[in-house]
Structure 1
Amino acid sequence: MEKPQQTEQTRFEVEENSLTEQAAAWFLRIQQSDHNNAEQKTFEAWLAQSEAHRAEYQQYVRLWQNLDQLERKPQKKRHSTIVGIILIMVMFSALHWLVHYEEVIITAIGEREQINLADGTTIDINTNTKLRLALFGLTRKVTIEHGEALFKIGNERLRTFEVYAGNGTIRDIGTEFNVNLEKDKTTVAVLEGAVEISLDDLLFPSAIIQSGQQLSYSKHGLSDTLRADTGTVAAWRKNRLVFRDTPLSEVVQQINRYHIRPVRLVDTQLNTLRVSGEFNATDRDGLVRALKTLFPLQSSELDDMTVLHVEKQ
């Protein structure tokens, strides 16, 4: 009988299970006082293989720390406590492949959605966004393929929460943060708490940004950390577009995120105009009228778009 072909998802799950089992085995071995130098060097080489190895191992370290904080009893009961912790960790490793949930969430142009997870985490998803939500073992992961989402993380601390966007990973450190992926640029703004950002290319150092800060990253590296206007960052949840001395070309780009019929600039000189103000994201006609009021512009309606151009004298 011909052996069934292994699907991409199956291969992914096998790799994750194997990595989880390796991390559990290494953690249990390193906790034992009789491990030797050769084993230590092998362990360090395993950690150095990839960021995924280090992240998986850190999950067990955090689990140990959280469980260990619960135990403050006399030394004679310590042995049973360690045995209990080991049994719990082995259970997590063995059941890793059973506790797996994955969902793809897509919002259309002009549509928003909110996801509420059982741990209290809420994910507000902006217009024209595609993300993948995966819950398995000690990990909660969201992959943003394009678009924007705002994350408010629940109180559960035993499982890490990670967001993959573009060429980087955002790790929650107990927080509320916004992630916007446009083309090859990802912008992260923290409303509360802090996040750690690391790129796939390990040549770039990771960065931690705190409440009221933001930065962007791409394949070229991380930007400088800037002050975040948190009211502007989260305004989209109230259907508001807020611009602060923003180039007109970027304003038009933002309008087109929310409406199927696009607006186009035909005169390159218009790109230098700057816009400041707050607008209703759902009122396309009102947005166009506002731009014509602010600047000497005219609009023309074509079959599939609205064109903005310099007003004729």
Structure 2
Amino acid sequence: MTDQGTDTSFKEALEWFVLLKDEKATAVDRHAFDRWLAESESHAAAFQRAENLWGRFDAVKPSYNQFQKTRRISRRNVVLGGLAMTIAAPSIYMLTRPGLFADYKTDIAERREFILPDGSTAELGSQTAMSLDFRAETRRLRLHRGQAFFTVTRDVDRPFIVEAADGDIRALGTKFDVKIASESALVSVLEHAVELRLDDTRFKPVIIEQDWQVSYGPDGVQPPKQVDTGTIEAWRQDRIVFKDAPLHQVLTELERYRRGRILLMDDTAGNTPVTAVFDSKRANDALHIIADILPIRVVNPDGYITMVYAR
């Protein structure tokens, strides 16, 4: 089920957490907090939840700490029902994302196709950023975040290479898809093949054939999986397809199609399988649907910070 707010103790705990994070917090503030904490056992539990939430919101921490040095954080500035942070947080979060000054970018739930200087095309999905580095001897692109579908023009004298998540993907054919998720990437080939080389030379290069996909990251290259091309290309028709995907993966994907963060507060719910097809332009509706069909509770589903709990 969905819930537009949180319990009173948790709201108060979020306020206290932000106040005490401020280096200008006074002894009077700390004594008042101690009194509040002693009033009820639920207050201690709520404050622990607030601390856990802050620990998960790692992207904002550096900018938040810098922000603290320039202005006082008032408890009135807390976003109730979401993360205890100032109203400046959306802008701060946008500034922390990679590829801020990339050559090609898309916005929330936007798709755009770009014609590259060699005649190849790159279709970028939601919240994607990519930089271009074409030279006389090579065609190189850097996918900073998001997802892109490449249709490559043949040029035997200049290899076509996409850098993504500490790996190089070299086109040996025409069409392939690359998606970044956190520190990992997923490469799916729809026509001919690509060669994948990781920056970490402990791992050997891998050839990915047509209708196969490979994910890779800090732990190396995962075994290849055969894929349905229709599922891979669904995002190009504004659809998000999940087939027995764990909930944590679903929430990470939905986050790409909305403004803000989705925080899974109970790891026990993260492996719950989800099979569904959603409209990528209506990600908030997807959150409501998931809350109706799974044993989870979604707090503030239409807000900038959304929290998901097991029921």
Given the two structures, how large is their TM-score scaled by the length of structure 1? 0.62
Instruction: Please give the alpha-carbon distance, in whole angstroms, between the structure 2 residues aligned to 1:203 and 1:266.
Output: 35
1:241 aligns with 2:228: no
1:118 positional shift: 4.6
Q: Residue 258 of structure 1: SS of its match in structure 2?
A: coil
The AA in structure 1 aligned to 2:201 is L
Q: Which has the higher contact order (CA 8 A, sep 6+)?
A: 2
Instruction: Please give the alpha-carbon distance, in whole angstroms, between the structure 2 residues aligned to 1:196 and 1:235.
Output: 24
Instruction: Please give the alpha-carbon distance, in whole angstroms, between the structure 2 residues aligned to 1:300 and 1:117.
Output: 42
Aligned positions of 1:160-175 closer than 5 A: 160-175=159-174
1:310 positional shift: 4.3
Q: Residue 157 of structure 2: SS of its match in structure 1?
A: coil
Give CA-to-partner distance per residue, 1:56-101, whole Å, 9 cap, x none: xxxxxxxxxxxxxxxxxxxxxxxxxxxxxxxxxxxxxxxxxxxxxx
Q: Which has the larger radius of gyration?
A: 1
Instruction: Please give the alpha-carbon distance, in whole angstroms, between the structure 1 residues aligned to 2:190 and 2:299.
Output: 40
Residue 116 of structure 2 corresponds to 117
Given the two structures, how large is their TM-score scaled by the length of structure 2? 0.62
Is 256-265 or 169-178 further displaced after alignment? 256-265
Instruction: Please give the alpha-carbon distance, in whole angstroms, between the structure 1 residues aligned to 2:230 and 2:269.
Output: 27
Identical-pair percentage:
31
Residues 120 and 155 in structure 1, CA contact (< 8 A), matched pair in contact too: no
**C-alpha distance 145-284 of structure 1, shift in aligned 2 (>3 A):** closer
Is 173-182 or 154-163 further displaced after alignment? 154-163
Instruction: Please give the alpha-carbon distance, in whole angstroms, between the structure 1 residues aligned to 2:284 and 2:180.
Output: 26
**C-alpha distance 272-197 of structure 1, shift in aligned 2 (>3 A):** closer
Residue 249 of structure 2 corresponds to 250
1:228 positional shift: 2.1
**Structure 2 gap ranges (5+):** 1-101
1:295 aligns with 2:294: yes
Instruction: Please give the alpha-carbon distance, in whole angstroms, between the structure 1 residues aligned to 2:201 and 2:307.
Output: 44
1:227 positional shift: 0.9
Instruction: Please give the alpha-carbon distance, in whole angstroms, between the structure 1 residues aligned to 2:249 and 2:281.
Output: 17
Paired residues in the alignment total 210
The AA in structure 2 aligned to 1:239 is D
1:197 positional shift: 1.0
The AA in structure 2 aligned to 1:117 is L
**Structure 1 gap ranges (5+):** 1-102
Residue 198 of structure 1 corresponds to 197
Residue 127 of structure 2 corresponds to 128
Residues 146 and 256 in structure 2, CA contact (< 8 A), matched pair in contact too: no
Residue 59 of structure 2 corresponds to none
1:110 positional shift: 2.6
Residues 119 and 155 in structure 1, CA contact (< 8 A), matched pair in contact too: no
Residue 309 of structure 1 corresponds to 309
Q: Residue 205 of structure 1: SS of its match in structure 2?
A: coil
Residue 276 of structure 2 corresponds to 277
Q: Which has the higher helix share?
A: 1
Q: Residue 252 of structure 1: SS of its match in structure 2?
A: helix
Spell out structure 1 runs of 4+ moving beyond 4 A: none
